[in-house]
Amino acid sequence: MSRRIMLAALAALLAGTAAQAQDIAVTNARLVIGDGSAAIERGTVVVRGGKVVAAGAGVIVPAGLRTIDAEGKWVTPGLVVAVTDLGLVDVGAVDGSNDSGADKAPFSAALDLSTAINPAAQPIAIARAGGVTRAAVAPLGTGSIFAGQGALIDLGADPQPVTRPRAFQYVELGEDGAKLAGGSRIAAHAVLRNALDEAREIAALPLGPRRTDVLLTRRDAAALVPVVTGRQPLYVHVERAADIRMALGLRQEFPALKLVIVGATEGWLVARELAAAGVPVLATPLGDLPASFERLGATQSNVGRMAAAGVKVALGAFFDQPRYAPQFAGNLVALTRVPRATGLTWGQAFAAISSGPAEVLGIADQVGTLKSGRAGDVVIWDGDPLEAGSGVVQVFIDGVEQPLTNHQTRLKDRYASPAEGALPKAYDW
């Protein structure tokens, strides 16, 4: 990263430190509440003290508020992306700026991602400019099936991004888990059950001797105590139907588990079982190729079929460009026009990247919708947010207006209209 970009990122963070929530009203908007309902024409949203106090048609704007006339533009809650590496990676190919994996670490379940989140990472600024205001950050890999404890963050331009550390435990099963555990799913499930047994024993006797086979460090086993006692959700990455059934079966041995399924390419094949179990899914959107044996049942109708069966499903696993979440959601709307395909309505699709992930993450009472009492995360778009040609005009997080500049926008501005002759200087050393 050049010195100029580093200074610009630092300046943005310092500016965010002093920023205060603004009392604002956005009027004359095509207003999207984010709960699955239809857009409200000529709607208004009022934010005071960093919180939404009113949103809808006919809302009276209190005197003295800064008022933004949206002029018919779309206004939505901020996007919520679940299971991403935002803040862990700046340049993926540069080890010094990539904290997304720890395959040589002596610990696994005890790893706490919140200690590595970098609010100045360019992917955060890029995602924010795309309307993303909240995210659940998850690890990519350790030397174990346990990938560590994920964190919830906001994408505000300030030095304090983490809103909830140790928000969930992330575990790899399926093909990836089999490789990590010794080459077989049999081994992965044995490792998982043994680990949960060790954690349950520590929960019962925190200071006592450990009687079960000790395969985890005490710190790793202690990190799993909130999982077996139901105080911390367990996010299980699986793709094929059989693996999803095995994950659901874990609650027979460990009834307190709060499971969340991540990926679920073949979720549509077990949709009734997921719905009956009440286990939510953060689904990888639009996977339609049998890229591996655990994805042979891939179909773009996966999310729509699960939703139709009553599964609490939202979009997740955005490790590459979280700002593209609206495009995935828009394609799910387009599927409703494809013969024999199953998609989502516009309201359902937007909820799948706003209130849906927020509900799965356990923060629906705080973000994801423009309802009274929710955070003042407001995004103004120049067109339908689920259309690829639409862009973000303004972003507020907790009522604070956010900068939309980033490395990509600066490069665009530099080279969009170069003077005749030599191009502008590219680097400062």
Give the number of other CB atoms < 10 A from CB of residue 333: 20
Spatial CB neighbours of 205, under 8 Å, sequence gap ≥ 6? none
334 falls within a domain: yes
| pLDDT 10s digits, 28-62 | 999 999 999 999 999 999 999 999 999 999 999 99
Instruction: Note whether 69 and 115 are same-domain residues.
Output: no
414 falls within a domain: no
Asked whether the predicted pLDDT for residue 146 surpasses 70, the reply is yes
Which structural domain range is residue 300 located in?
Answer: 79-367
Query: Residue 96 has which token pair?
Result: 């010094």
Using left for φ > 0, alpha for ψ between -120 and 50, and beta otherwise, residue 45 falls in beta
179 falls within a domain: yes
Asked whether the predicted pLDDT for residue 421 surpasses 50, the reply is yes
161 falls within a domain: yes
Query: Residue 325 has which token pair?
Result: 């979440």
- CA neighbor of 393 nearest in space, from 79, 74, 120: 74
- CATH number of the domain that 11 lies in? 2.30.40.10
- CA neighbor of 234 nearest in space, from 166, 184, 142, 295: 166
- CA neighbor of 132 nearest in space, from 350, 379, 387: 379
**Which ranges of 119-270 would DSSP assign to H, the alpha helix?**
122-129, 174-181, 185-204, 218-223, 225-228, 241-248, 250-253
**How do strand 259-263 and strand 392-397 relate by DSSP bridges?**
unpaired
Query: Residue 151 has which token pair?
Result: 């964190």
Instruction: Note whether 59 and 88 are same-domain residues.
Output: no
Instruction: Note whether 53 and 86 are same-domain residues.
Output: no
Give the number of other CB atoms < 10 A from CB of residue 245: 15
Instruction: Note whether 10 and 103 are same-domain residues.
Output: no
261 falls within a domain: yes
- CA neighbor of 86 nearest in space, from 114, 121, 115, 111: 121
**Crossing angle of the two packed helices 3-18 and 122-129, in degrees rounded to 10:** 60
Q: For the chain, how many structural domains are there in total?
A: 2
Task: Check: pTM over 0.85? Answer yes or no.
Answer: yes
Average pLDDT over residues 185-190: 95
pLDDT grade for 417, boundaries at 50, 70 and 90 = confident
pLDDT grade for 318, boundaries at 50, 70 and 90 = confident
Query: Residue 327 has which token pair?
Result: 């495009």
% of the chain beyond a pLDDT of 70? 91
Asked whether the predicted pLDDT for residue 367 surpasses 90, the reply is yes
pLDDT grade for 18, boundaries at 50, 70 and 90 = very low
